[in-house]
């Protein structure tokens, strides 16, 4: 199986693309702060999932990259909250993206807690 078939990867990639689209409407003065940060952290979630899958031969490396992915997902959530409080997104959009982020977090944690189901030999 390829990492692109992992549900966590698919959903995190989809979220990163949604965030990219909404962040296009953020004010220009946010370009080098909030906009760059939320795009970077959301993209890093799926990038770390891909790296973890390639390192699954070594369970500790697999889990380490997944914890990085989980941390980036949490960071993305913080930037979403700033986006809401700064009124760049509305409550409905925040709730939708927040739910997606929470689901991704659950998928990542499932992978962390079940590395043997993803090709790691324990």
108-121 pLDDT, tens digit each: 999 999 999 998 87
| Per-residue pLDDT tens over the stretch 97-106 | 999 999 999 9
CB 59 within 8 A of CB 121: yes
The full 3-state SS of 30-65, as one line of letters, equals HHHHHHHHHHHHHHHHHHHHHHHHHCCCCHHHHHHH
Q: Can you give the pLDDT at residue 122?
A: 65
> Does residue 120 sit within a domain?
no
Specify the 3-state DSSP secondary structure of 87: coil
Residue pointed to by tokens 């993803």? 118
Q: Which two tokens stand for residue 62?
A: 């697999």
Residue pointed to by tokens 């959009």? 93
pLDDT of 29 above 80: yes
- Number of structural domains, the chain? 1
> Does residue 66 sit within a domain?
yes
> Does residue 121 sit within a domain?
no
Domain that holds residue 44: 3-24+31-115
Q: Rounded to two decimals, what is the model's pTM?
A: 0.94
Q: Can you give the pLDDT at residue 119?
A: 86
> Does residue 17 sit within a domain?
yes
């Amino acid at each position: 199986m390829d990492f692109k078939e992992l549900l966590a990867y698919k959903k995190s990639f989809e979220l990163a693309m949604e965030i990219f689209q909404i962040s296009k409407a953020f004010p220009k003065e946010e370009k080098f702060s909030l906009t760059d940060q939320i795009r970077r952290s959301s993209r890093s979630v799926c990038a770390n999932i891909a790296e973890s899958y390639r390192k699954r031969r070594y369970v500790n490396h697999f889990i380490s990259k997944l914890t990085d992915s989980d941390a980036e997902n949490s960071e993305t959530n913080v930037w979403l909250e700033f986006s809401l409080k700064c009124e760049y997104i509305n409550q409905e959009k925040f709730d939708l993206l927040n739910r997606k982020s929470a689901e991704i977090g659950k998928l990542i944690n499932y992978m962390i807690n079940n590395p043997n189901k993803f090709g790691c030999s324990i």
